[in-house]
Structure 1
Amino acid sequence: MDTLPALPALPALFLSHGSPMIALEPGAAGAFMQRLGPAIDATFGRPRAILAVSAHTLTREPVLLAAERHAAVPDFGGFPQALYEMRYDAPGAPALAQEVKALLAASGVTAHVLGEGGLDHGIWTPLRYLYPQADVPVLPLAWMPMAPPAQQFAMGQALARLRESGVLVMGSGSITHNLRLLSTFTGRAPMDAPEKPESAAFRQWFAERAAARDWETLFDYRAQAPHAALMHPTDEHLLPWYVAAGAGGRDVAPLRLHQSHTYGALGMDAYGFGEEARRLREALAAQ
């Protein structure tokens, strides 16, 4: 793995993508992501590629989607027609897929490489704001939602070297995600409904435990976080946080770069990981 190019190191990121409606109604999180891409470029330079770990691309074993080109996949139903007509045609990263496969193999994880593509809405909706020209190569990593948080973190640790070679490791999910609690999900009611207390308590607990680098408690969040099962009846939308956190490493506390909510209980928090995250936060504050 000594062939990885030497480029400015990047932080790893976790972005809450929320409802697909964010593509039409950016809200506070969309406005943050519009600033995030330029802040990354100004601070570290344009990433050579994005490794995307999304809550909506799931498999029984890790799979790298190494197509030459990707298109936006409308993997949802019941939304306005304008959402289905949106495009995000981004280049793929087949060469990077081989690098990632080798890194995972070195940690004992076997990953498959497929020459197929497509970006689920957990990838293309945030990237439409970060890089609207769709000019940064994207490599989706389909992952195993049955693995617990500590195992997801370990997979992220195996990917940490990518950050040192100009690759943006991006986890995409939602910091809270129980669709039954939402005032709406399809844009037919106000997205600024007051936040439910349980959602606010969970988000605050997560931010506090992250700031304290309390990894063992975070790994055991389902037993220790307030309202954990209510906020995540299934936890595939939170687990990408742990992958990105692992890529940032244990030694530096995760930084909450953005906090907001939509539809009453859909948390939109974003986090940065690794010592580079502090520089990114300073760049965002200076905008």
Structure 2
Amino acid sequence: MSRLPTLFISHGSPMLALEPGTTGPVLTRIGQQLPKPKAVLVISAHWLTQQPTLTSGTSPKTIHDFGGFPRALYALQYPAPGSPALAEQVQALLQKVGLDARLDAERGLDHGAWVPLRYLYPEANVPVVQLSLNPSVPPKLQFALGQLLRGLSEEGVLILASGSFTHNLGELHWDSPEELPQAGDPYVDQFRDWVIDKIETHDIDALNDYRRLAPHARRAHPTDEHLLPLFVALGAADNTEVRRLHKDVALGTLAMDIFAFGSGGDVLAENGNLS
């Protein structure tokens, strides 16, 4: 199998599972255009641990880790199989560099994993392993973590980093999203444009220091766990090739950008409306 790209996906609100908007069709197209992976390794902003941990069960449950949403959302299931073998392989990779990774056979898939996967692989026929995210590890070391995982993409494993390009829940416009321009609040685009520029010029040093250098960084990310998966995806890519697959804003302040990094992304159609 040819090498797969690494993906960063902004998963938005859990309601994406019921309301695909513009993001759902893009995810479906990605799943159709990429060669079918032998497994998916997900790093989500919604499983935070200090010790690296991997789901290792054969049938990970669907976790509904949210509250106050319609009953139909809690009825959704994503019954993808797990891959204990992949979990053990990643554990070994991390242990080689002194990271005491552990396996958890009981942990399931949170909505940062199963919501986008419902569109990527709706038949739930690709094994999935989730790797927890340590929110106290800075971007530079998240990038280094991605580098440790780089070889998996050559073996047919899709590395899926799931977070949000901006994530200020205190400023969401729940009441009248239809009245908002597609660009959302101006600070969202200012922050996003800065980050995209650094990604496309491969200015990793500036990206690692984004909370000090990027405009409106702390407003865009009061806490940075939803952007940290981006650095894992960048580190796991084998070269500096970047494909911007989607640009939108949900609820005024959630930038829904999707990227593919590294070799293997040439089969993916880029979004033509990114200006």
TM category (shorter chain) comes to over 0.9
Which TM-score applies when normalising by structure 1?
A: 0.90
Distance between the aligned counterparts of 1:180 and 1:56, measured in 2? 17
- Which string of whole-angstrom CA distances, capped at 9 and with x for unpartnered residues, describes residues 6-44 of structure 1? x3210010000000010111111111111110011xxxx
Matched, 1:269 2:257: yes
Change beyond 3 A, Cα 1:210–1:172: same
From 100, 106, 131, the equivalent of 2:90 is: 100
Structure 2 counterpart of 1:236, from 212, 225, 233 = 225
Contact 1:52 1:123 in 2 (8 A): yes
The letter for the 2-side match of 1:193 is L
Q: Which amino acid aligns with 1:214?
A: D
Measured in 2, the distance between the counterparts of 1:220 and 1:284 equals: 28
CA distance 1:170–1:164, change in 2 (3 Å): same
CA distance in structure 1 between the aligned counterparts of 2:257 and 2:136, rounded to whole angstroms: 23
C-alpha deviation, 1:99, in angstroms: 0.9
1:220 paired with 2:209, answer yes
Structure 1 gaps of 5+ residues are 1-6
Q: Of 61, 80, 84, which residue of structure 2 is paired with 1:71?
A: 61
**C-alpha contact (below 8 Å) 2:2/2:264 kept by paired residues:** no
TM-score, length of structure 2 as denominator length = 0.94
Gaps (5+ residues) in structure 2?
A: none
Q: Which moved more, 1:146-155 or 1:253-262?
A: 253-262
C-alpha contact (below 8 Å) 1:213/1:253 kept by paired residues: no
* Residue 282 of structure 1, CA deviation: 4.2
1:3 aligned partner: none
Post-superposition Cα deviations, 1:239-282, rounded to whole Å, max 9, x if no partner, equal 00001111004x414332211111101010011111222x1334
SS of the aligned residue for 1:135 comes to coil
Pairing partner for 2:31 from 32, 37, 44: 37
Tell me whether 1:15 sits opposite 2:9 in the alignment: yes
For this pair of structures, how many residues does the alignment match? 270
Cα distance 1:191–1:121, how it changes in 2: closer, same or farther (>3 A)? farther
Distance apart, 1:192 and its partner CA:
6.7
Match of 1:245?
234
SS of 1:38's equivalent in the other structure is helix
Deviations 1:109-154 (A, max 9, x none): 2211122231100001100000011110000001211100000000
Written as runs of structure 1 = structure 2, the 5 A alignment for 1:199-210 is 199-210=188-199
CA contact (8 A) 1:211 1:255 kept: no
Q: Give the distance between the partners of 2:149 and 2:97, measured in 1 at CA.
A: 9
